[in-house]
Amino acid sequence: MNSFFVALFLLSLPQVHGYRYLFQVINFAYSHMSFGGRLADLLVENGHEVDFVIRRYNTFVSGAAAKKANVSVHTLANVEELNQLTMRVPMYHDVFTQSGDAFTWEGLNVMDELMTKGCDATLEDKGYMNLLRSKNTTPPSSSMSIHADCSWLMSWELTRLCTSRCMVSLFRAEMISAYPRLQDLCLSTTKYLPQAI
């Protein structure tokens, strides 16, 4: 990952030790998980406490991702359905070929359906939600999704804080530079995220 984006991310965080963060990442790819894990571990090294939640969408991508943060892996009850839905997203077939049709409205609609179903499955798993709450005796100061998707709904459910901070994916920021026509769409999604007071 570009070190510029990592530096930008760290500058956006409060420069005070002792904060507690809730990180979320979906296991679409090893690179996404390892990037999120590195960021989580970096915060731990700087005196913060991080709960790193991996929402398992794909059965073929695994790994703890973070070595120092508190890692929790949640396998969704409908993971096989989500696997099949993932295969319908054009991005996963031709994003590296730059064929021009990686990001179509059809593909983005499927992605939206995929994210929403995954988030709903997490929220509906009361046992898992109670487990996360029991670990968070101190409410998180901030909640961040490594991917800008419906994960922020889970953050809101867990923290109930108006001060929840949800960050647009740094990985996605790199994708914007490769696919400029995505910029307006990506930026428009931020209006749905809870804003810090």
Query: The CATH number of the domain where 146 resides is what?
Result: 3.40.50
5-9, 82-86, 147-151: which has the highest mean pLDDT? 82-86
Q: Judge whether 3 lies within some domain.
A: no
| 16, 36 contact by CB (below 8 A) | no
pLDDT of the residue at 172 = 36
pLDDT of the residue at 162 = 34
Q: Judge whether 1 lies within some domain.
A: no
Q: Judge whether 28 lies within some domain.
A: yes
Q: At what angle do helices 170-178 and 30-45 cross, to 10 degrees?
A: 130
pLDDT at 175 over 50: no
pLDDT of the residue at 178 = 35
Q: Indicate the length of the chain as a whole number.
A: 197
Q: Judge whether 7 lies within some domain.
A: no
Domain of 32? 17-192
Q: Judge whether 123 lies within some domain.
A: yes
Q: Judge whether 9 lies within some domain.
A: no
- Averaged confidence pLDDT in the chain: 60
Q: Judge whether 52 lies within some domain.
A: yes
Residue range 27-72, pLDDT digits in tens:
766 666 777 777 788 878 888 888 787 777 766 666 667 888 888 7
Q: Judge whether 186 lies within some domain.
A: yes
Q: How confident is the model at residue 2 (pLDDT cuts 50, 70, 90)?
A: very low
In the chain, the number of structural domains is 1
